[in-house]
Amino acid sequence: MSPSSDAQEYRDYGLESLRNASQSSLRTKLKIFTDVETPYAEFDTEDSPDSLFDEISPAATSSLPAMLHAPPIPGLFFTPSLLLPVQLADDVTHFCLDNYFNRPGVNQIMLFGVASSSNAGAPLSGLPPVLTTLLSTVSSLLEPTLPPEIHALLFPPNPTRARQAILNLYHPGEGIIPHVDLLRRFGDGIVGVSFGSSCVMEFARVDKAADDAAAPLQLFLPERSIIVLSGDARYAWTHGIEKRTADLVADAGVHRVVQRGVRLSITFRWLLPGADVVGQDD
Ligand SMILES: O=C(O)CCC(=O)C(=O)O
Ligand SMILES: [Fe+2]
């Protein structure tokens, strides 16, 4: 599927109601544009399509158990056994909680890293060192499991685009409405890491008339796991997380209930040209 305008995106993917949901519950977002030369922070309480969180509405589990393995969605890559080292996951979690989620009500942070124009070979800079370490570890972990072109899409040797890291903090009972990441703002190749708690991510066809549009596919994301969305998984399927306090998982034929704890996710996305202008919110 080729990217279309955001207007169509809202119509087709239900993001209008997502916007409304976030308007009724303005949450404080801290938007930090990081750049080695000119770091600064901007507090932003405006609504934007990045505010996808739901209010707490605890429910039990869904009736359908989630899978432990990647559902057959082209461009979705997930290896359940591929986990970040515990020490790095702890370091990232503590750094983020201490530095970004240390004020009440903040549950979403956006950080931006840019390629250094003077040193094309340097890693993307501007992100805090713990996140550049995270990126390089994720790159090494994923390399043997991903098709080379997908690895190169996510981790090009000489990045030319700015990278956004969006940090989302979920308490049990919170979720994120099914959505396609903004088409005009973000490019192809998205990588997400879970910290602190597992959750179940649901995928649904954007095209409701498609043969496989019947029921959303549910994937269990353990803490420290890594998920990659590209191609159809990025453009032709929505992803979301149900507001639940626990998830039902099918594990070798046995159904398990997995309680949710506080989950931090870090999602890296490429900003499209022009989308890195400060304050531009579509
Ligand atoms: O929490 C997650 O893993 C998903 C976050 C997400 O989809 C987003 O911020 O667009
Ligand atoms: Fe998303």
pLDDT tens digits, one per residue of 63-99: 689 999 999 999 999 999 999 999 999 999 999 999 9
> What residues contact 164, with CB distance under 8 A and at least 6 apart?
110, 111, 112, 186, 268, 269, 270, 271
8-state DSSP, 65? P
Nearest to 265 by CA among 114, 138, 146, 108: 108
**In-domain check, residue 192:** yes
Q: How would you label 147-174 residue by residue, b for 16+ Cβ within 10 Å and e otherwise?
A: eeebbebbbeeebebbbbbbbbbbebbb
* Tally of structural domains, the chain: 1
**In-domain check, residue 281:** no
Provide the percentage of residues in the chain whose pLDDT is more than 90: 63
d(CA 274, CA 272): 6
Report the CATH number that the domain containing residue 34 is assigned in CATH: 2.60.120.1520
Tell me what pLDDT residue 124 has.
Answer: 56
Among 241, 263, 268, which residue has the most ligand 1 atoms within 8 Å of its CB, making it the best to mutate?
241
Atom number, ligand 1, closest to the C-alpha of residue 108: 9
Alpha carbon of residue 48 to chain centroid: 16
Q: How confident is the model at residue 211 (pLDDT cuts 50, 70, 90)?
A: confident
Task: Please tell me which residue, 274 or 1, carries the higher pLDDT value.
Answer: 274
**In-domain check, residue 282:** no
**In-domain check, residue 77:** yes
pLDDT at 129 over 90: yes
Cα-based angle 144, 148, 150 (whole degrees, multiple of 5)? 105
- Determine which residue's CA is closest to atom 3 belonging to ligand 1: 265
Atom number, ligand 1, closest to the C-alpha of residue 221: 3
Confirm if 138 and 193 have CB atoms less than 8 A apart.
yes
d(CA 8, CA 13): 8
Nearest to 73 by CA among 228, 243, 252, 177: 228
Sheet with strand 108-113: strands edge to edge: 40-44, 29-33, 108-113, 163-170, 263-270, 190-195, 225-229, 76-83
Q: Is the ipTM of this complex over 0.90?
A: yes
Nearest to 5 by CA among 212, 272, 203: 272
**In-domain check, residue 278:** no
> What residues contact 155, with CB distance under 8 A and at least 6 apart?
135, 139, 142
198 CA distance to ligand 2 middle (Å): 16
> What residues contact 90, with CB distance under 8 A and at least 6 apart?
none
Can you give the residue range of the structural domain that contains 254?
6-270
Number of helices followed by number of strands (H, E) in the chain: 6, 14
Average confidence (pLDDT) over 195-213: 90
Atom number, ligand 1, closest to the C-alpha of residue 192: 3
Confirm if 221 and 166 have CB atoms less than 8 A apart.
no
**In-domain check, residue 276:** no
**In-domain check, residue 83:** yes
pLDDT at 261 over 50: yes
* Residue whose pair of structure tokens reads 């202008």 in the numeric block: 277
d(CA 108, CA 12): 25
- Read off the pLDDT of residues 135-149 as tens digits, 9 standing for 90 and up: 999 999 999 999 999
212 CA distance to ligand 1 middle (Å): 23
Residues with CB under 6 A from ligand 1: 166, 168, 176, 181, 192, 239, 265, 267
Tell me what pLDDT residue 146 has.
Answer: 98
